[in-house]
Amino acid sequence: MNIENTQSQMRKGVLEYCILTLASEGEVYASDIIANLKDAKLIVVEGTLYPLLTRLKNAGLLKYEWKESDQGPPRKYYSLTEEGVLFNNQLAETWSELNQSVNRLTKKI
């Protein structure tokens, strides 16, 4: 069994929730999402992030708006749709329950 693969799968499992949570705080630029995920030790590269953002947008959970930038070409800023807000709230409840359950189990060991 490969520990790195298992660790990677665990991170991927919470990535969508983390991205939606970052977008729930207001409009967010892709490089800011990457920086926040790296700070949280959920290291993600652009090649992983952009397909995920597209999938969340196509699912109706994210929307984006192009905005002019002082530092080059216009930038795409992401935010939650109304459906995305509801979905993220449900994920937050699920995460809380899961986190409590895992903590209960691991404290018994």
Q: Which residue has the higher pLDDT, 12 or 80?
A: 80
6-33 confidence digits (pLDDT tens): 887 888 879 999 999 999 999 999 999 9
| pLDDT score of 44 more than 90 | no
**At CB < 8 A and 24+ separation, what contacts does 90-94 make?**
91/16, 91/17, 91/20, 92/17, 92/21
Residue 7 has which token pair? 């660790």
Based on the structure, what is the number of domains in the chain? 1
What's the predicted TM-score (pTM) here?
0.86
Residue 109 has a pLDDT of 67
User: Looking at the DSSP assignment, which residues form a beta bridge with residue 76?
Assistant: 66
Domain with 46 in it: what CATH number?
Answer: 1.10.10.10
Share of the chain above pLDDT 90, in %: 75
Please, what is the angle between helix 3-24 and helix 46-58, to 10°? 50
Cβ burial, residue 11 (10 Å; 0-12/13-18/19+) = middle
Contact 46, 34 (CB under 8 A): yes
Residue 45 has a pLDDT of 81
Q: What average pLDDT does the structure give for the chain?
A: 92
Structural domain of 35: 3-108
Nearest to 45 by CA among 69, 84, 12, 78: 12
